[in-house]
Amino acid sequence: KKDETIFLAKSIYTLIQKKIAEYHLITSSEIQIDCDWTAGTRDDYFKFLKELKKISGKEITCTLRLHQVKDKVQTGIPPVEKVYLMCYSTSSPLENSDKNSILDVNILKSYLSKIDEYPIRKIEVALPIYSWGIVTNHLEKHKLINALSKKDLENHNFKRISENTAEVLKDGFYFGHYLNKGFTIKVEEISYDQLKDVVQFLENKIHNFNIIYYQLDSKFVLNKDFKF
């Protein structure tokens, strides 16, 4: 199994080097790995991080999800000196819920209530600035349409059910997708106040962190003021 871990680390580092050459990228002293590890996969993942550091000679950092902070005894602490805290995806968009699945500040605060006790002290913060529409059909099946806003619900073929939800009144193509009459679209967006609330909460818990804004489309960064 150790041979497999070494092989994986070598293969990934070779791929990174190939992409750097292929796209003429400026090299960095850091390699960030993103993995939603669990109690069951932690040992293999942590071994992989150590092997990648040995093979590359670079600083290895990784992402850190909310549940990995809350359940740190079960999920373990990764063998890195810096992590990137993902302050989004507080629930699944595929659940029937009135909560904002991208970011519910109360849920985030409950998960991060003891972030100040997390053993890794260098923590950078990733905040969401994306939005999407959750489409639900007659069978309660869901799909996501990226980059929708509440303004997109202003359509004479939609009936507004609530501030952020509409029902489709006529079969047709909307936002590049064929939607049937009776389908509902729930838009989830992130407000400036939500982001400010999260930043102020974290400033009382961790110090001197940089903020990375996670977005799925360039439209989310145009004409935005990110000063808190």
114 and 165 within one domain: no
- pLDDT tens for each residue of 200-219: 999 999 989 999 999 866 66
49 and 160 within one domain: no
- pLDDT tens for each residue of 82-109: 999 999 999 999 888 889 999 999 999 9
Give the integer Cα–Cα distance in Å for 99 and 158: 22
Q: First-to-last CA distance in the chain?
A: 47
Q: What does the buried/exposed string (b/e) look like for 178-211 if buried means 16 or more CB atoms within 10 Å of the residue's CB?
A: ebeeebbbbbbbbeeebbebbbebbeebbeebee
Angle (nearest 5°) at CA 160 between 157 and 165: 110
Cβ-in-10-Å burial (0-12, 13-18, 19+) of 71 comes to middle
Question: Residue 147 corresponds to which amino acid?
Answer: A
Q: HSE, CB side, 13 Å, CA atoms: give it for residue 46.
A: 13
9 and 94 within one domain: yes
Q: Give yes or no for residue 226 having a pLDDT over 70.
A: no
Specify the pLDDT at position 143.
95
Whole-number Cα distances in Å, 160 to 152, 165, 167, 219: 11, 6, 6, 24
Structural domain contains residue 225 = no
150 closest CA partner among 105, 103, 192, 185: 185
Place of tokens 């400026």: 26
Domain CATH number, residue 20: 3.20.20.80
170 and 86 within one domain: no
Give the integer Cα–Cα distance in Å for 117 and 206: 9
216 and 140 within one domain: no
Residue ranges of the alpha helices (H) in 86-210? 105-111, 192-203
Q: Give yes or no for residue 6 having a pLDDT over 80.
A: yes
Specify the pLDDT at position 68.
98
Strands 59-64 and 30-33 turn out to be parallel
Number of domains in the chain: 2
